[in-house]
Amino acid sequence: MTTIVKATSKGQVTLPVKWRRQFNTDNFLATEKDGVLELRPLDINDAVKKKEITVFDALRDNKGKGLKAKELSRLLKKTLS
């Protein structure tokens, strides 16, 4: 299935319900390469085992500013729970 999705003012897109029901996850891995955006279902437990996820990206998540270790720890716990 191919469909057009529109980004909100916050950069969010909504996946069609048919796609959301097809995968047993609420997490997806987005990869950009050579101008192509790929979105794949992601099992967090598998990703943690394979070390395939970026939990924090200072440019993306914190406007390029550093982050105190205590805050990073809190975000990690929230993300991985």
Q: What pLDDT score does 9 carry?
A: 93
Examine residue 75 and state whether it is found in any structural domain, yes or no: no
As given in the structure block, the two tokens for residue 78 are 């929230």
Examine residue 71 and state whether it is found in any structural domain, yes or no: no
Q: Give the up-direction half-sphere exposure of residue 59: CA atoms within 13 A in the CB hemisphere.
A: 0
pLDDT greater than 60 at residue 74: yes
Entry pTM: 0.49
The answer to whether 44 and 27 have CB atoms below 8 angstroms apart is yes
Nearest Cα neighbor of 2 from 27, 28, 35, 39 is 39
Examine residue 24 and state whether it is found in any structural domain, yes or no: yes
- Domain hosting 28: range is 1-42
Nearest Cα neighbor of 13 from 39, 32, 36, 42 is 39
* pLDDT level of residue 69 (50, 70, 90 thresholds): confident
pLDDT tens across 6-60, in order? 999 989 999 988 888 898 888 888 888 899 999 988 876 665 666 655 666 777 7
What CATH number does the domain containing 13 carry? Answer: 2.10.260
Examine residue 22 and state whether it is found in any structural domain, yes or no: yes
What is the total count of domains within the chain? 1
